[in-house]
Amino acid sequence: MSRPLLEVDHLVMNYTTEKGDVSAIQDVSFTLYEGEALGLVGESGCGKTSIAMSLLGLAADNARFDEGEIRLDGTNLLALTPDQMRQRRWNDISMVFQGAMNAWNPVYKVGDQIREAMDLHFRPRLSSREVEARIAKLFELVGLNPAMINRYPHEFSGGMRQRAIIAMALSCDPKIIIADEPTTALDVIVQDQILQELKAIQADLGMSIIYISHDIAVIAEVTDKIGVMYAGKLVELGPTKEVFARPKHPYAYLLLSSTPSVTGPRRKLAPLEGEPPDLLNPPTGCRFHPRCPYATERCSTEEPPITDIDSGHQVACWNWQEVPELGGLTK
Amino acid sequence: MTQPLLKVENLSKLFPVAKGFLRTPTDFIHAVDGINFEIQPGESLGLVGESGCGKSTTGRMLVKLMEASSGQILMSDKTQTEDLIDIANIPREDMKRFRRRVQMIFQDPYESMNPRRTVFETVSEPLTVQNIGSLKEREERVSEMLRLVGLSPPDAFLFRYPHELSGGQRQRVAIARALVLDPSFVVADEPTSMLDVSIRISIMDLMLKLADEFDVSYLYITHDLAVARYMCDRIAVMYLGKIVEIGDTEEILGNPQHPYTKALLSAVPVPDPTHVKEEVAILGGITKAINPPAECRFLARCPWAQDVCRTSDHPPLEDKGDGHYVACHLVESALARA
C-alpha cells in the first residue's frame, strides 16, 4: 500500500450567515494515498465543493472550521497562516475548477498566464528559457500544440481552454490535483478526451487526484476510490468497483439506481422522493432519514457513525444490511 | 400506416453571419440543413447531438418560435382528420388554435418563468389567452394540473412565486403549463439537464406518465444519450445541422452505424467501473457549419473516410432495414445487401 498523502480527519465546517449556521461539512474523514484517484460525488449543496475549497485554503470568509484537521504529509493545513498556505497552493495542491476555461484573462496570452502562476509559486526558480520549455512540455502533455502558447484565450475552443487549465494546474508539479467538475460544461466527446487524458497523465506522473462531480458515471470511469456525500456528510466510502457493485448506504443505492445508462438492460429507474434538506436546519439523526425508504425510528434520533463493513468499505447507516442488491428493476 | 402527427420535410434554417452594419451578409451558418423526419401520434422522438448541432433550432421551428428558412413542417389537425397542414401557412386567426396543440418545455426552470407571477397565474395563462372557462373553472383546472404534476396539495402552491420553489418544483410547474391545454405535441428542450440527479428521474417519470395520460408526443431534445434512451421510442442523431442516423432507440444504441454515433456512444460515461470502453477516436473538434462544403459534414473528423466521401455530396439518409436510417457512404444499404 502506498503512503497516505492527505488526511481529512473528522472535519466540521459551518458557514456563518445572518440566518444562522449552515452545516456544510459534518464530521468528514477520508485519506488520499499517493497515486490514488478519489472521487467525491453528490448533488448540489452536499458539501463537495466546500471540501475542495477547504483543502485549498480557499474557503469563503464566513467559513468556520469547528473541528478536525486536514493533514498534508503530516502538516495540518488549517493551522497554517494564509501566507504559508499560499506557498502550498499550486506547489503541493493545485486545482482545475468547473468552468475554469472561462476564467482566462482575455487580454493576456495563455502561455503568459501560465508563466505568471509559475513565477508566483514554482520553486525551484527557472530561467525564462526553462519556463518556456516547461510550458511547451505541459502543452504536449495535455494534447495541445505548443505553438498555441503565444495565442490568446479566444483563439482556443472550450475543450482546448480546459486543457490549458490542466496544463496550468500541472505547471508547478503538484502532488495533488483537485478537479472540481472538470468537464461539466463540455460536450460529451471532448469530456471523454479530457478525462482519458487526465487519467493517463495521472498514471504517468504518479499524481493523486480528487475528482469532484455530480455525475457518478464520470466518477466510475476515472477513480479508484469513491466517497458519496449527502447534506454535508460522507455517507459511503470505498473502492469504486466495490461501491458500484454493492452500494450499502440507501442514498448511494438510490443514486445508482436512478442513473440512466446507455449500456446494460433498459431499466425502470427508481426515483428518489423528496428534496435535499436545508442545511441551516439539518434533520436530526441521520440527515437522509426523511427521504430514506429504510429508515427506522432510531434514524431520526441517533446519527449513524461511518463504520467499516468490509475492508475499506465504509457506510454511515444503521440499516445498511437492509439495502438490497442492485439491479432488480427491469423495464 | 397511420397518419403521422408531424412530418418534417427538407427543413433548413440559415443564420446570417454579421459582417457589419448595412452590409448584406454573404456567409450563413447552416444551423439546420435539410432534415426529414416523422413523429407518429403518441411517439417520443429523441433529438440528440452536441451543442451547436441544430437540435434546439429544430425544436424552436417546430413550435413556430422561429421561422424556417426553407422546407416544410406538416402537422395533422385533430379536428380536420384529412390532410396534414403546413404550419408556415396557418392564417393568423388560426394561430391560437395551433398553439393549443403544440407546446414547449424549456431547459432552464429559473428563466422560463415570470418571477412576478404566481404559480396560478403562470399555469392559467394559456387558458386565459385561449379564453377557456370561467375563472372558477380555470382554478379547478390549474389545481387538477398541479395535482397531476405532483404539486399537492395544490392550494399550497397556487399562490407561490417561482423564487419560493425548488428547481424540480419549477420544472413541474413548467410541465403543468405546457400540458394545461391538452396539446398533442410538446417540444421538450433539455428539461432535466439543470436538475440534480435525484430529481431528474422523478421529472422524467412524470413526463412519461403524462405522455400516456394526455396522449402527447414529445420531441425530446437532449445531449445525453442515456436520458434519451430512458425517454424515447426513437432517436435521431444530429451533427452540424444534419440528421446522420435515426431509428429505434435500442437499435441505435445497440447497433450504431454512423461513425459519429459510434464516437458519441463510446464517449458517454458509463456508471459502471467494470465497463470496458471501446474507444472510437474521431479527429479534431466540432466546428460551425458556415457555408459548409457539399461533402459529408463529418468528413473532416471521420477516421474511416474514403475517396467516395471526398468526391460525393453529403450522403442522404438511407434505410438500412427496420426503419434504421443512416447517412453514410460507407454503410451498406439494405438494398445493396439483399
> What is the per-residue pLDDT for B34?
93
- The DSSP code sequence of A235-253 is EEEEEHHHHHHS--SHHHH
Distance from CA of B94 to the nearest CA of A (A): 40
CA distance A152 to A164: 11
CA distance B56 to B32: 10
> What is the per-residue pLDDT for A330?
37
Residues 6+ apart with CB under 8 A from B151: B119, B157, B169, B172, B173, B176
CA distance B143 to B145: 5
Q: Report the length, in residues, of chain B.
A: 338
Closest CA to A238 of A148, A155, A313: A313
CA distance B63 to A93: 50
Residues of A in contact with B56 (CB under 8 A): none
Distance from CA of B158 to the nearest CA of A (A): 19
CA distance A211 to A226: 9
Give a yes or no: residue A264 inside a domain.
yes
Q: Residue A189 is nearest to which of B201, B267, B273, comparing CB atoms?
A: B267
Give a yes or no: residue A320 inside a domain.
yes
Closest CA to B165 of B120, B232, B99, B222: B120
Contact criterion met (CB below 8 Å) for A232 and A47:
yes
Cβ of residue B270 closer than 8 Å to a chain A Cβ: yes
Closest CA to A70 of A32, A21, A22, A16: A32
Give a yes or no: residue A309 inside a domain.
yes
Which range among A28-32, A44-48, A158-162, A323-327 shows the weakest confidence by mean pLDDT? A323-327
Cβ of residue B201 closer than 8 Å to a chain A Cβ: yes
Cβ of residue A99 closer than 8 Å to a chain B Cβ: no
Contact criterion met (CB below 8 Å) for A331 and A267:
yes
Cβ of residue B284 closer than 8 Å to a chain A Cβ: no
Q: Say whether pLDDT at B337 is over 80.
A: no
CB count within 10 Å of CB A57 equals 18
- Most B CBs within 10 Å, among A157, A189, A224, A331, to test the B interface: A189
Note the ipTM here.
0.86
* Chain-centre distance for alpha carbon B165: 26
Q: Residue B197 is nearest to which of A187, A188, A258, comparing CB atoms?
A: A258
Task: Tell me the CA distances in angstroms from A24 to A215, A277, A289, B198, one per residue in order.
Answer: 20, 11, 18, 19
Name the strand (E) or helix (H) holding A216: helix A216-222
Provide mean pLDDT across the span A80-87.
92
Cβ of residue A70 closer than 8 Å to a chain B Cβ: no
Q: What is the largest CA-CA distance in chain B?
A: 68
Provide the chain A residues 36-65 that lie in CB contact (below 8 A) with chain B: 43-44
- The DSSP code sequence of A72-140 is ETTEEGGGS-HHHHHHHBTTTEEEE-TTGGGGS-TTS-HHHHHHHHHHHH-SS---HHHHHHHHHHHHH
Residues of A in contact with B240 (CB under 8 A): none
Confidence tier at B325 by pLDDT (50, 70, 90):
very high
Provide mean pLDDT across the span B2-6.
84
CA distance A113 to A118: 9
Mark yes or no for CB contact A157/B51 under 8 Å. Answer: no
Q: Residue B197 is nearest to which of A195, A214, A244, comparing CB atoms?
A: A214
Compute the radius of gyration of chain B from its Cα atoms.
Answer: 21
Cβ of residue B265 closer than 8 Å to a chain A Cβ: yes
Give a yes or no: residue A295 inside a domain.
yes
Mark yes or no for CB contact A244/B202 under 8 Å. Answer: no
Q: Say whether pLDDT at A199 is over 80.
A: yes
> What is the per-residue pLDDT for B212?
92
Cβ of residue A278 closer than 8 Å to a chain B Cβ: no
pTM, two decimal places:
0.89
Domain count, chain A: 1
Residues of A in contact with B200 (CB under 8 A): 258
Closest CA to A30 of A55, A62, A56: A55
CA distance B226 to B254: 12
Here the cell at position B194 is: 439543470
Distance from CA of B286 to the nearest CA of A (A): 9
Contact criterion met (CB below 8 Å) for A23 and A282:
yes
Mark yes or no for CB contact A189/B264 under 8 Å. Answer: yes
Tens digit of each residue's pLDDT (9 = 90 or more) over A88-115: 998 999 999 877 778 899 999 999 999 9
Contact criterion met (CB below 8 Å) for B252 and B260:
no
Which range among A179-193, B13-27, B291-305 shows the weakest confidence by mean pLDDT? B13-27
Using CA coordinates, name the residue in chain A closest to B281. Answer: A193
Provide the chain B residues 123-182 that lie in CB contact (below 8 A) with chain A: 166, 168
Q: Residue B265 is nearest to which of A241, A262, A266, comparing CB atoms?
A: A262
Q: Residue A261 is nearest to which of B223, B263, B270, comparing CB atoms?
A: B270
Distance from CA of A310 to the nearest CA of B (A): 19
Provide the chain A residues 148-177 that lie in CB contact (below 8 A) with chain B: 157, 159-160
Give a yes or no: residue A54 inside a domain.
no
Q: Residue A263 is nearest to which of B51, B204, B275, comparing CB atoms?
A: B275
Here the cell at position A174 is: 503538484
Tens digit of each residue's pLDDT (9 = 90 or more) over A46-57: 999 999 999 999
Give a yes or no: residue A273 inside a domain.
yes
Confidence tier at A271 by pLDDT (50, 70, 90):
confident
Task: Tell me the CA distances in angstroms from B103 to B33, B96, B218, B222, B283, one per residue in order.
Answer: 24, 12, 10, 17, 38
Tens digit of each residue's pLDDT (9 = 90 or more) over A272-322: 888 888 899 999 999 999 999 999 999 999 999 999 998 899 999 999 999
- The DSSP code sequence of B217-250 is EEEEEES-HHHHHHH-SEEEEEETTEEEEEEEHH
Higher pLDDT, A201 or A1: A201
DSSP for residue B290:
B
Using CA coordinates, name the residue in chain A closest to B260. Answer: A189
Residues of B in contact with A213 (CB under 8 A): none
- Single-letter amino acid code for the residue at A247: P
Cβ of residue B254 closer than 8 Å to a chain A Cβ: no
Distance from CA of A184 to the nearest CA of B (A): 11
Tens digit of each residue's pLDDT (9 = 90 or more) over B10-24: 999 999 887 777 778
Highest mean pLDDT of the ranges A177-186, A254-263, B240-249: B240-249
CA distance B99 to B29: 29
Instruction: Please state, rounded to an integer, the average pLDDT across all residues of chain B.
Output: 89
Residues of A in contact with B209 (CB under 8 A): none
Distance from CA of A78 to the nearest CA of B (A): 31
Give a yes or no: residue A256 inside a domain.
yes
Confidence tier at A123 by pLDDT (50, 70, 90):
confident
Distance from CA of A255 to the nearest CA of B (A): 6
Using CA coordinates, name the residue in chain B closest to A243. Answer: B273
Give a yes or no: residue A301 inside a domain.
yes
Domain boundaries defined on chain B:
257-338
Cβ of residue A220 closer than 8 Å to a chain B Cβ: yes
Contact criterion met (CB below 8 Å) for A242 and A254:
no
Contact criterion met (CB below 8 Å) for A277 and A295:
no
Using CA coordinates, name the residue in chain B closest to A45. Answer: B196
- Which residue range(s) make up the domain with A321? 247-331
